[in-house]
């Protein structure tokens, strides 16, 4: 492992399910605390950290709109509010261990978070605060993957770290297909052509256009965030 981080500014994309821990629904305090410790370790090494968190552990807009017959826009806004809850939980966990944070929301709610303003976000990073982006892009029909690609591009991140439950990108679902091949490295255009499950097509296209690499790795293996930031070959490198 390198002695110093190979990336200066990174965006960590967490799914809402990352906060479940052993629960079936909601937010597990122990999981938040564990994540906060890993984020603190790399933050203290001098890395500027931004986070985008999903809301699937509480409410998944696209799924629930079909299940309950909700209008898709309404369901997506409800999903955005779920990301705010997750962001506040992560903020609390980080600040309990001495890491200064700011939650910036794409949907204004002045009592609990700052509105997203690009210059303010960059200033917070420069002042050594962990920035947590919530409420997606603020628009329905866009995933938090797309929000991650957008925010990472806007604040000039070196890389997106996408933390998942699997150890990289496969040719098929490894849980269902034993012959599924793992890709250690893959190009954006091949992700789109082969419809590989990395991020949605909008997010991948945005990263491809802006030459913003993505590292897909297993969050459940402790220490992987640090390994990715220090340049150790883990998961799948998408470029």
Residues 148-174 have pLDDT tens digits of 999 999 999 999 999 988 888 888 877
Do 134 and 113 meet the contact criterion of CB atoms below 8 Å apart?
yes
How far apart (Å, rounded) are the C-alpha atoms in residues 165 and 147?
A: 20
Do 83 and 53 meet the contact criterion of CB atoms below 8 Å apart?
yes
Q: What is the pLDDT of residue 1?
A: 64
For residue 134, list its beta bridge partners.
105
> Which whole number is the average pLDDT over 49-69?
84
Indicate the domain borders of the chain.
Answer: 9-234
**pLDDT tens column, 101-120:** 999 999 999 999 999 999 99
Q: Provide the CATH topology of domain 9-234.
A: Carbamate kinase (3.40.1160)
Q: DSSP letter for 18, please.
A: G
Instruction: Give all strands of the β-sheet with 159-164 in edge-to-edge order.
Output: 114-115, 101-105, 130-134, 48-53, 9-14, 159-164, 214-218, 236-238, 185-186
pTM: 0.94
């Amino acid at each position: 492992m390198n002695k110093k981080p190979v990336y200066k500014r990174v965006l960590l994309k967490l799914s809402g399910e990352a906060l479940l821990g052993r629960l079936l629904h909601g937010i597990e305090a122990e999981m938040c605390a564990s994540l906060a410790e890993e984020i603190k370790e790399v933050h203290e090494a001098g890395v500027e950290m931004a986070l985008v968190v999903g809301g699937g552990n509480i409410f998944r807009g696209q799924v629930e709109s079909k299940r309950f017959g909700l209008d898709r826009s309404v369901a997506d806004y409800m999903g955005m509010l779920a990301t705010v809850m997750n962001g506040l939980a992560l903020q609390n966990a980080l600040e309990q261990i001495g890491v200064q944070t700011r939650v910036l929301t794409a949907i204004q709610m002045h009592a609990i978070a700052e509105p997203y303003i690009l210059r303010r976000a960059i200033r917070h990073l420069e002042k050594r605060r962990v920035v947590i982006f919530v409420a997606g892009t603020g628009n329905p029909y866009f995933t938090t993957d797309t929000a991650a690609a957008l925010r990472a591009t806007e604040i000039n991140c070196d890389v997106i770290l996408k933390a998942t439950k699997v150890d990289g990108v496969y040719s098929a679902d490894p849980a269902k297909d034993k012959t599924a091949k793992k890709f250690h490295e893959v190009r954006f255009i091949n992700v789109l052509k082969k419809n590989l499950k990395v991020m949605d097509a909008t997010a991948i296209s945005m990263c491809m256009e802006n030459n913003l690499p993505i590292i897909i790795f297993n969050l459940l293996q402790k220490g992987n965030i640090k390994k990715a930031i220090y340049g150790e070959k883990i998961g799948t490198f998408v470029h």
